[in-house]
Amino acid sequence: MARRLPVALLALALAACGGVRDCGRSADELAQEGIERARAGALDDAIAAFESSLLRDPDNLKALYNLGLAQLLRGHGPKAVDALSAFVRLRPDDAQGRFELARAWAISGRRQEALEELRRAVDLGFADHEALVRGGGFQALYSDPRFVALEMVVAQRAGHLADGGSLGRVEGTGYGGIPVDVTLPGIRGRGEGAACTGD
């Protein structure tokens, strides 16, 4: 019986630290490993590393943000919503984080939440038109006038409407490129998203 106790304690310790390869590693080191694994295309390993990081530090911004992105790539909208919601609770002024949360809501089929979060991102200065229309997730919203209004603001910030031209969307993907005259109250000037990239 005395021999079984140390083996049981070792097993418990290994489980608590995420296995042999994770023992003694910091939350930041595990989050960075997750980013490297994601870049190599090993999303399952990346997700495991981000989750191990969050076991050590539930408020690790790098792990929360990138776990949300990895879950989005996997098409797991509700899991992405969980991670990205935690991220924006910690960084409420992060335009890029709010944009990714809007995408997560959209792929989860939650139109209203997606539009509200996208509005918050735009209010914070989100200006990446390419990500908005080609990044995936928002197709179901293309014909919604609220989405079109937000897209126009983002397109203008990105310089796509500087010459008075249309957005040039592919036919059949929404309102057909017809310019919409909108002024959204409360929109701040051009700003930079501050997504957590680990720098």
Tens digits of residue pLDDT in 11-42: 444 455 544 355 679 999 999 999 999 999 99
Answer yes or no: is pLDDT of 167 > 80.
no
Report pLDDT digits (tens) over 62-95. Answer: 999 999 999 999 999 999 999 999 999 999 999 9
Please, are residues 195 and 66 in contact by the beta-carbon 8 Å criterion? no
Chain centroid to CA 121: how far?
Answer: 11
pLDDT of amino acid 166: 53
pTM: 0.73
Amino acid residing at 84? L
pLDDT in tens, 93-121: 999 999 999 999 999 999 999 999 999 99
- Closest alpha carbon to 91 in 51, 62, 53: 62
Q: Which two tokens stand for residue 119?
A: 């509005």
CA distance 48 to 187: 38
